[in-house]
Amino acid sequence: MQPTGKFFILLFIALFLFQDNCALAEQNDETGSGKSKISTLRIDKDNLLVADSCDEARERYDEGLLLSDDSERETYYYQRAVDLCPGFVAAHTRLAEVYKNQGKYILSIEQFEQARIQALSSNQFASRSGSRALFLESAISLGEIYRIQGQYERAAQEFSKALQMDPDSMPAQNNLQYGYKRMHRYDDVLSPNNMMLVNALFTRISGLTRPRGTFRFDVQYRTWDQTGTLTDEMFDDERIQLSIPPSERKTNVTVAIAGIRYGLTNDLTIGLIPKYFSRTLEIELAAFDVVETPTVKHFGDTELLFKYHVWGERNRHLSVYTLFNLPTGKNIRVLGEEPLTRQGQDMDGNRIIEYLDFVRYIPFGSESYDVTPGLAFTLGLDPIILQSNMQYRITDGELIGDEFLLNGAAMYRVNPSVIASLEMNYRWRADVRRKQQVITYALRPDFILRERIPAGAVVLDTNYTEFGGHTLFISPGIQFTVARGVMLEFGMQIPVIRQAEGVTEDIVYHVGLSVMTF
């Protein structure tokens, strides 16, 4: 091999070891062992000069560390260290820190940049977990410098970088929030951690009241199938009892609920909660061999909310409330779209056309001014918030019966923009008497008593009892913060205990959107 070639090979090895030594020196510093492993390296005699330089740099660095007083003398030691061993990242970092503490911000920034460059250029350093800590520390320190200089935007960038590297970095969290406040960017300050302002999906009334002059809007969409048994013992009229075969009443219910709440005073919230229903009935008419599925839409009752914050401290709040029922919903008479017809014969054997127009009454409201007193409680145990309420609806027992609700919700913040919730919703309903109209056709002897009903269509107005009972739902849900104060929510109510009689629901699906103003 030519001498020139040997020279370049040796030079290459020397450079390689030079980088190794400096990187290892940094590693030793980070572990805090204070013992250099450089002596264990295999150092070629041709590279002794480089190794000695980094050894000496290490000594200077230690001397500076012994001072740790941000003095000029400490600065000198680190400066000497980086002069001797430019790849000595820890010395760059510490020098930058000292410059920062001395108020020499430009020099400090330069040194932090150097530390980053040297760390990136060292493969060994970059592969170590310590590199992350270095970059984190560097970002925080740079952010602090920009903060001190009043450059909040740049500071925020650095702290955001730091949080990307370590979301739990407390200095980064602290300084970023401070910067936002100083920039008057309070929208950024208001993190979703303010969980006390969150409502559960089905336990919607919380122990908190709205601040004075602020609104909360929400829109909910729920849909479910429900089934009601229809048996003869439900009816008062014994003629119906004998003529109605047991059957099921299936209904698909969709309801849109729009709520608006306003803080009248700091402790008094009023709200208006109108509802709009769409019900699709599935009516099997065995006599005509058809299944009617009429859909009827109408407003339900509207609730007027008065909530008063009776007690609260820190994370515990208690409110009493009353829901006044405004009877905007009616007992809707549902008819088939067209009269049902079929060919038949009268008692004399003459051919006739039988027709039937079925009638159902669907209560969209109670048609009375009911009152529902309740109690709501909220407890924040960050990151969990517990919310519960109970209420009793007092009715006249017609159309809509008394109802007791006991709701409890636990919400957990999965991450800053996602809240998972689990609720238990208990409901007891009283029996209720509803009126019903039955139209029968006299020619069907199995329907009615022959001797008491004349031929042709017969209309019977009667009442029946809709049985109540106990129902328990388990309700998982999830809420997403899509913008400040705007939450999108999805959930379902799964009935785990259903009432034995009367109307029972299947799974209730829920989608909602809520918007809060501050």
Partner 1 sequence: MIKSPHTFNSIHKATRRLIPEPGFLLLCIPLLFISSGCSSLFFPSTREDITVDEEYFTIKKQVIIADNAIYQNNRSGLRVRGSTPVHVTDCDIYQNGRTGINLEQSAEVTIENSNVFKNKTSGISTNNASKVIIRDTLIHQNQNGGIRIRQNEQAQQKSTYVSLLQNKIFLNGEGGVHAIADTPAPILLIVSGNAIYRNRKTGLRIEDNIHLTAKNNKLYSNGTAGIASYVTTELPPKLDIYKNKIYFNLGSGIFIRSGITGRIGLSNNLIYNNYRAGIALGLLNQAEKEQVDVEVFHNTIVGNGSNVEGAGIRNDSKGDVMIKNNIIAYNFTTGIMSDGCGGFSYNLLFANGETSNVKPDSEDFSYLTEKVQYSGCSGRQWGDVLAQPLFFNPDRYNFSLREDSPAINAADAIHSPYFDAFPSTDIGAAPFSPPTGPTQERP
Chain residues binding partner 1 by CB under 8 A are: 32, 34, 65-69, 71, 73, 147-150, 168, 170-171, 173-175, 177-178, 181-182, 184, 186-187, 189-191, 193-194, 196, 211-214, 263, 266-267, 309, 312-315, 317, 380-381, 518
C-alpha to C-alpha distance for 79 and 245, rounded to whole angstroms: 98
3-state secondary structure of 144: helix
DSSP codes, 406-464: EEEEEEEEEETTEEEEEEEEEEEE--EEEEEEEEEETT-TTTS-GGGS-SSEEEEEEEE
The two structure tokens encoding residue 223: 């849909």
Contact 412, 383 (CB under 8 A): yes
CB-nearer residue toward partner 1: 216 or 222: 216
CB-nearer residue toward partner 1: 103 or 373: 103
Nearest distance in Å: CB 511, partner 1: 27
Nearest distance in Å: CB 73, partner 1: 7
Helix axis angle for 105-121 and 89-102, nearest 10°, is 170
C-alpha to C-alpha distance for 96 and 143, rounded to whole angstroms: 13
CB-nearer residue toward partner 1: 314 or 452: 314
C-alpha to C-alpha distance for 270 and 205, rounded to whole angstroms: 12
3-state secondary structure of 260: strand
The two structure tokens encoding residue 29: 């510093």
Nearest distance in Å: CB 96, partner 1: 15
Nearest distance in Å: CB 31, partner 1: 12
CB-nearer residue toward partner 1: 317 or 434: 317
CB-nearer residue toward partner 1: 166 or 506: 166
Contact 435, 234 (CB under 8 A): no
Contact 513, 218 (CB under 8 A): yes
C-alpha to C-alpha distance for 502 and 432, rounded to whole angstroms: 10
Nearest to 512 by CA among 457, 475, 460, 461: 475
Nearest distance in Å: CB 52, partner 1: 23
CB-nearer residue toward partner 1: 309 or 393: 309
Nearest distance in Å: CB 130, partner 1: 17
Contact 104, 141 (CB under 8 A): no
Contact 438, 453 (CB under 8 A): no
Q: Which runs of consecutive H residues, i.e. helices, occur in 149-221?
A: 152-165, 170-182, 186-189
CB-nearer residue toward partner 1: 37 or 181: 181
CB-nearer residue toward partner 1: 317 or 429: 317
3-state secondary structure of 47: helix
Nearest distance in Å: CB 86, partner 1: 25
CB-nearer residue toward partner 1: 111 or 269: 269
For the chain, the distance separating the N- and C-terminal CA atoms, rounded to the nearest angstrom, is 80
Nearest distance in Å: CB 211, partner 1: 4
Q: How many CB atoms lie within 10 A of CB 263?
A: 20
CB-nearer residue toward partner 1: 181 or 297: 181
Q: In angstroms, how far is CA 510 from the centroid of its own chain?
A: 13
Nearest distance in Å: CB 268, partner 1: 12
Nearest distance in Å: CB 162, partner 1: 12
